[in-house]
Amino acid sequence: MTSILIIGGGGMIGQKLAASFGKNEKVSLLDVAFPEKSDLNATRIYGSIRDAKIMEKMLNSLPKTIFFLASVVSGEAEENFLKGWDVNVQAFWGFLNNIKKLHVQSEGQYKPKVIFTSSIAVFGSPFPEKIPDNFLSAPRTSYGAQKVCCELMLNDFIRKGFCEGLAIRLPTICVRPGKPNLAASSFFSGIIREPLNGLKANLPVSTDVRHWHASPRSAVGFLRHAESLKQGVLTFNSAINMPGLSCTVEEQIEALRALAGNDVVNLIKFKPDEKIIEIVKGWPQNFDTQKAEILGFKAEKSFEEIIQIFIEDELKTNVYKN
């Protein structure tokens, strides 16, 4: 029986990832909160990654694969400077040190695979039309800077042989089910999700804003594929841009119109928000993800496909339904 630990397992991606495992896999989830209802075949452990004792206990069962998804989101990291650095970097550093301790104690026998979710927020403008795989990580947000630090730390632990793993830089995940969150990117999901649920949605930026998306289903696919890769196929730099779909807000809206009609689209109201407009200006718009594609990572090819996945996975079945 393979043992899997999902740190941040109570979140949207964590729950979907847990659901992707079969009955032969022993899945443990660590988080500060979980959805009320769940029929997941997984052990829930309530606790924070800032709690050294909990973290030590979680690792003492020597999970073979550890997905590290826990993070303070971008908006909150920007508002609460110290909390962001503390949770997003210091807790990850403590986690890696625990792994190293167990690796050394076991005389090198314990060498788990650590899959860390990084983000395209590691990049800061100015950007080329398509961001290549070897583009400079010069973030313009605390969240982005924190993610790069974690990538560098993980990479050094891997290089030293204390663990295996990689950092995958997720596109903006869209359409997120559930409620809006504190991420400045929340509206990209909101303008699709709310209207499909018969609710009004605010659009805080103009429709020519271009951005980089992948569905929650793709995100889970990336994580599972990352787990399946042999360390040898990776180069010395274990942080990889994930594939995604580049489209404008207008293209998002037109895809919604094609699938759900004018009445649904009319629920979107343009309500400019200068703060969000400013943040989004500094965000990546498009990528050339050759490396990830060669390694076999796959994402959607159209925004219709992304909406279709939301309809199938959320509107019809999911506990996150509004």
* Residues in contact with a second copy by the rule CB under 8 A: 81-82, 85, 93, 97, 100, 124, 134-140, 142, 145, 148-149, 152-153, 155-156, 159-160, 236-237
Residue number, 112 or 221, with CB nearest to a second copy: 112
Residue number, 59 or 239, with CB nearest to a second copy: 239
CA 265 – CA 78 distance, rounded (Å): 32
CB 176 within 8 A of CB 244: no
Residue number, 25 or 86, with CB nearest to a second copy: 86
At a CB cut-off of 8 Å and minimum separation 6, what does 195 contact?
201, 256, 260, 264, 265, 267, 268
Structure tokens at 44: 């829930």
Cα radius of gyration (the chain): 19
Residue number, 137 or 185, with CB nearest to a second copy: 137
Cα distances (Å, whole numbers) of residue 149 to 31, 45, 144: 22, 27, 9
The sign one gets for the Cα dihedral 101, 33, 147, 40 is positive
Beta carbon of residue 52, minimum distance to a second copy (angstroms, whole number) = 15
Beta carbon of residue 158, minimum distance to a second copy (angstroms, whole number) = 11
Residue number, 197 or 237, with CB nearest to a second copy: 237
- 143 assigned to active site: yes
Beta carbon of residue 93, minimum distance to a second copy (angstroms, whole number) = 8
The single-letter DSSP state of residue 243 is P
Cα distances (Å, whole numbers) of residue 122 to 27, 111, 170, 174, 277: 30, 27, 10, 19, 19
Q: Give the alpha-carbon dihedral of 162, 163, 169, 173, to 10 degrees.
A: -140
Beta carbon of residue 144, minimum distance to a second copy (angstroms, whole number) = 9
Beta carbon of residue 156, minimum distance to a second copy (angstroms, whole number) = 5
3 state SS of 299? coil
Active site residues: 143
